[in-house]
Chains A and B, each alone.
Chain A
Amino acid sequence: MRVVVCTKQTPSTTAVITVDAEGKVSWDDPGGKPNVVNPWDEYGIEEGIRLKENHGATDVIALSVGGEDSKEALKTSLAMGCTEAVLVSDESMVGSDTLGTARILAAAINKLGDVQIALFGKQAIDGDTGQTAVQAARKLGWTPLTFVSAIKEVGDGSIVVERMLEEGKEIISAQLPVVISVVKEINEPRYPSFMGIRKASRAQIPSWSAADLAIDGGIGAGASKVDWSQVYGIPPREGSVEIIEADTAEEQARILVDKLFEEKVI
């Protein structure tokens, strides 16, 4: 059984993100690495590796669509224990909407061939859309299983998973192949081992272009049906905090409760 893990390189969670007058977004992380594996994808990578360790997956292939620098994120996935990594990179892909990205990912998964499970993160922390997994599933013609919190059984041609929904949990069984998006509850991602890091640093990661793939439908900015040109900083909140001071906690409580009734939020 071959497993693919889709992972995107995103700004780190502590990155300071700025946007200029033209709406061009840039970021830096003075304290750490500005670019990381999308934090939600770490759970997908870990689960892929566990499918190899516990459910007999033969290959766990990390797949990313992005610039050359996304190889960094792929190296992290190799260092954690993925058996292979592939970058898909092409100027013509820049500016794709989620459907365009889904088309590229689906085409790459088809090219990898014989894949039974494609793992995705819940969402990418830059666009924060959480749409790509289902859309890739449609392009592959596979069943999407989103918000998966446990893989219970992997049988011959079928899978049983637990999903986390707003009001509780659901156990669902489906025929393979499937697309799975995972939530944090599913596992605790491991740290890359020292050996893993050494191996990953020497790895040659192949880079596929659009011409290497049979992409079905439009990709890139030209085919995107969503206009993303207006991105801006959040206007600072008006006014500053009102600190409530008084001699006793009871008095402070009374003043606060008064204010909250005045604000009509109770």
Chain B
Amino acid sequence: MSGVWVWIENRDGAISIIGSETISAARTIADSLGQTVTGLVLGHDVAGVADEAFDLGVDAVIGCDDASLAHFRVEAFGPLVTRLAQENTPSVLLAGASIRGRDLMAWVAADLDAGLISDGIGIAVDGDTIKVTRPVYAGKLMATVFVTEGPQVITLRSRAFPQAESTGKSGTAQWVEPAVAEEAVPSKITGLETKDEGVSLSDASIIVSGGRGVGGPEGFEPVRELAEVLGGAVGASRAAVDAGWIAYEHQVGQTGKTVSPDLYIANGISGAIQHQAGMRTSKIIVAVNKDADAPIFKLAHFGIVGDLFQLLPAITSEFRKRLGK
């Protein structure tokens, strides 16, 4: 059993951010183990993705280019990865902890009878074992977990690892046949509705959030303006979402999204434990709140006690000036 495998998530012919992050984590693990990195490039019209994978530092690519893989369906991808892993016996299988990465690794681990760890935010190699740190109990505790036997199947949370950098290397992919013919895939995708409204919360390196303190749907305007100037995404507390001021997909927290941007600016958010669960691993946290005793200040690195309707426009115009926008 040898080799670090990484499923390279891609979309529209390019490696996704989380795909690039997983490659860099795979590289780190493989270098410590003294093993090679094999990238799995699965999709349709993905020759360019294979080239990009070599450039980002994988040593080998096993690819499958087939119309049945044009959109991710775990019933098509799962049996293929399982078959390849049975034939080649890698010691580690990695994927991003995206919706698709989770589905794929859960499927493959079940079929390989392998140990599975999800949502890693840190890795350390100890002998042949990958020690994975991950939050548990909604981020209230941490755990260091590892697979005790057989292939180690691990998903990694987005933004926890740096993106892989261009190496200028190239290589020749090994192309294989799909495992399941289209007719035999038990599900069909009949509709796709992609939304393109700026930066997604899970990929964003900057998030500007609003809570009940913004007072209403129009209160999100200054929040949006600051996010826009910073090229960031807009987040929200559940109180703001429940009030109907902003859509659920913006909710950060235990029952919303877990994010970990470089910069998280919380405006008019008290910092309830369920909100913290979704954002406490952010690198720098800024809180703007008119209540000096709000719990968010216990978590924040920088705080301003005051009215967000005065402070946000001032911060936005200061950034505009400094960024020349």
Report if A and B associate in a common complex. Answer: yes
Q: Is B21 an interface residue (CB 8 A)?
A: no
A189→B14 CA distance, assembly (Å): 39
Q: Is B115 an interface residue (CB 8 A)?
A: yes
Q: Write out the residue numbers on chain B whose beta carbons fall within 8 Å of the beta carbon of A193.
A: none
Pairwise interchain contact A131-B189, C-beta atoms closer than 8 A: no
A231 at the interface (CB under 8 A from B): yes
Contact of A249 with B306 in the complex, beta carbons under 8 Å: yes
Known: A17-B141, A231-B143. A175 touches B302 (CB 8 A): no
**Docked-complex contact A226 and B189, CB < 8 angstroms:** no
Interface residues of A in 205-261 (CB under 8 A from B): 217, 224-228, 230-234, 237, 239-245, 248-250, 252-254, 256-257, 259-261
Among residues 73 to 123 in chain A, which have CB atoms less than 8 Å away from a CB atom of chain B? 97-99, 102
Chain A residues, Cβ within 8 Å of B116: 97-99, 131, 135, 225-226
Confirm or deny: B303 has a beta carbon within 8 angstroms of a beta carbon on chain A: yes
Q: Which one of A1-9, A54-62, A162-170, A196-204 contacts B?
A: A162-170
Which A residues are in CB contact (< 8 Å) with B280? 234
Within 8 A of B (CB), among A128-150: 128-131, 133-135, 138-139, 143-147
- Which chain B residues lie closer than 8 Å to A133 at the CB level? 106
How far, in whole Å, are A261 and B115 apart by their CA atoms in the complex?
43
Number of interface residues of B (CB under 8 A): 88
The answer to whether B142 and A242 touch across the interface, beta carbons within 8 angstroms, is no
Q: Decide yes or no whether B109 CB sits under 8 A from chain A.
A: yes
**Does B70 have its Cβ within 8 Å of any Cβ on chain A?**
no
Residue contact B118 to A129, C-beta cutoff 8 Å? yes
Query: Taking chain A's interface residues, is the majority helix, strand, or loop, or is none over half, making it mixed?
Result: mixed
Q: Is B140 an interface residue (CB 8 A)?
A: yes
Residue numbers in A under 8 Å from B143 (CB-CB): 228, 230-232
Contact B248 A233 (CB under 8 A): no
Residue contact B145 to A167, C-beta cutoff 8 Å = no
Decide if A11 touches B137 in the complex (CB within 8 Å).
Answer: yes
Contact of B315 among A27, A131, A184, A256 (CB under 8 A): A256
CB <8 Å contact, A170 and B192: yes
Contact B118 A146 (CB under 8 A): no
Pairwise interchain contact A226-B283, C-beta atoms closer than 8 A: no
Report the interface size class on chain A: 35 or more
Across the two chains, which residue of chain A brings its CB closest to B105?
A131
For residue B283, which residues in chain A have a CB less than 8 angstroms away from its CB? 265
Residues of A within 8 A of B323 (CB): 266
Q: Are B248 and A185 in touch, CB under 8 angstroms? A: yes
Q: Knowing A128-B119, A167-B200, A241-B287 are in contact, say whether A172-B189 is a contact too (CB < 8 A).
A: yes
Closest Cβ of chain B to A79, distance in Å, is 21
Q: How far is the CA of A184 from the CA of B242 in the complex (A)?
A: 12
- Rounded to whole angstroms, the CA-CA distance of A239 and B300 in the bound complex is 10
| A99 in contact with B109 given A129-B119, A226-B148, A257-B319 (CB within 8 Å) | yes
From the candidates B75, B138, B150, B262, name the one contacting A128 in the complex (CB within 8 A). B138
**Could you give, for residues 190-219 of chain B, a 1 whenever the CB lies within 8 Å of some chain A CB and a 0 otherwise?**
111111000010100110000000000000
State whether A130 and B118 are in contact (beta carbons under 8 Å apart), knowing that A226-B147, A230-B144, A266-B230 are contacts in the complex.
Answer: yes
B103→A134 contact, CB < 8 A: yes
* Interface membership of A126, Cβ < 8 A: yes
- Asked if A135 contacts B150 (CB within 8 A), the reply is no
Q: Judging by beta carbons under 8 Å apart, are B318 and A168 in contact?
A: no
Task: List B109-126 residues whose CB lies under 8 Å from chain A.
Answer: 109-111, 113-119
Q: Is the CB of A175 within 8 A of B286?
A: no
Q: Which residue of A lies closest to B106 (CB)?
A: A134
Cα separation A252 to B288 with both chains bound (whole Å): 11
Contact with B along A158-192 (1 / 0, CB 8 A): 00100011111111111100000000110000000
Which residues of chain B have C-beta atoms less than 8 A from A40's C-beta?
Answer: 255
A138, A147, A184: the one within 8 Å of B107 (CB): A138
State how many angstroms separate the Cβ of B144 from the closest Cβ of chain A.
4
Q: Are B284 and A265 in contact (CB under 8 A)?
A: yes
Contact A13 B138 (CB under 8 A): yes
* A135 adjacent to B187 (CB under 8 Å): no
Name the contact of A252 in the complex, choosing from B139, B297, B311 (C-beta under 8 A): B311
Further contacts, 13 of them, CB under 8 A, given A227-B146, A243-B303, A260-B286: A17-B141, A25-B137, A97-B116, A99-B109, A129-B118, A130-B118, A146-B99, A168-B192, A172-B189, A226-B115, A252-B314, A253-B311, A265-B206
Interface residues of A (CB under 8 A from B): 11, 13-14, 17, 19, 25, 27, 39-40, 97-99, 102, 125-131, 133-135, 138-139, 143-147, 160, 164-175, 184-185, 217, 224-228, 230-234, 237, 239-245, 248-250, 252-254, 256-257, 259-261, 263, 265-266
What are 26 residue pairs bridging A and B, where the CB atoms are less than 8 Å apart in the complex? A13-B138, A13-B255, A14-B274, A17-B140, A39-B254, A98-B106, A99-B110, A99-B115, A128-B135, A129-B118, A134-B103, A135-B106, A135-B109, A168-B195, A171-B193, A184-B248, A227-B145, A227-B146, A231-B136, A232-B142, A233-B141, A253-B315, A254-B318, A256-B304, A257-B322, A266-B323
